[in-house]
Amino acid sequence: MPFDAIVPAQRSTQSGLHDHRLSHARDHLPILEEVTTVQRLAAVAVLERHEPRLTVLQRIAVVDAAAYWVESAGGDELAWALLEAACRSSIAAGRTYGALLNTAGRASAAAR
C-alpha cells in the first residue's frame, strides 16, 4: 500500500516508529572523536569561500550534519557523500572535510 493511501492514524504511527528507529540508531552509534567548534567554524569558512551560493544557514546545516557523521562510527563515508552533494566541486568538499578533521582545531580546544 502506498504511503499516501494510509489513513492518517496509521501514517502517524508508521512515521513515529520510523522516527523512533532512527533516534534509537543515532543514540547507539559510538562517538569516535568530537568535532570542535573551532573545526566547525573553519569548515563553514571554507564553504563560504568555495560555495557562496549557499546561505549562512545552509552552510551551518551542512557542516553540522557532516560533523555528526564524522563523530559516528562508520560515518566518514556519509560525511563525505553529504559534502560532495552540497559542494559543486570535489575540491571544495575535500577542503571542507579537511577542516572538520583538522587536528590543530582539537589541540587548541584541548589547551583551553
Q: What is the DSSP string of 36-51?
A: PHHHHHHHHHHHHHH-
**Nine-digit cell string for 94:** 575535500
Task: Determine contact, residues 35/70, Cβ cutoff 8 Å.
Answer: yes
The reply to whether 21 and 47 lie within a common domain is: no
Q: What is the pTM of this model?
A: 0.65
The reply to whether 56 and 86 lie within a common domain is: yes
**Domain tally, the chain:** 2
- The residue segments making up the domain with residue 6 are 1-29
The reply to whether 62 and 103 lie within a common domain is: yes
- Cα(80)–Cα(19) distance, integer angstroms: 24
The reply to whether 41 and 19 lie within a common domain is: no
The reply to whether 53 and 107 lie within a common domain is: yes
Convert the pLDDT of each residue in 61-85 to its tens digit: 999 999 999 998 778 899 999 999 9
The reply to whether 42 and 91 lie within a common domain is: yes
The label of the residue with cell 570535489 reads 90
Convert the pLDDT of each residue in 41-60 to its tens digit: 999 999 999 999 999 999 99
The reply to whether 76 and 103 lie within a common domain is: yes
Convert the pLDDT of each residue in 13-24 to its tens digit: 445 544 544 444
Nearest to 74 by CA among 32, 36, 25: 32
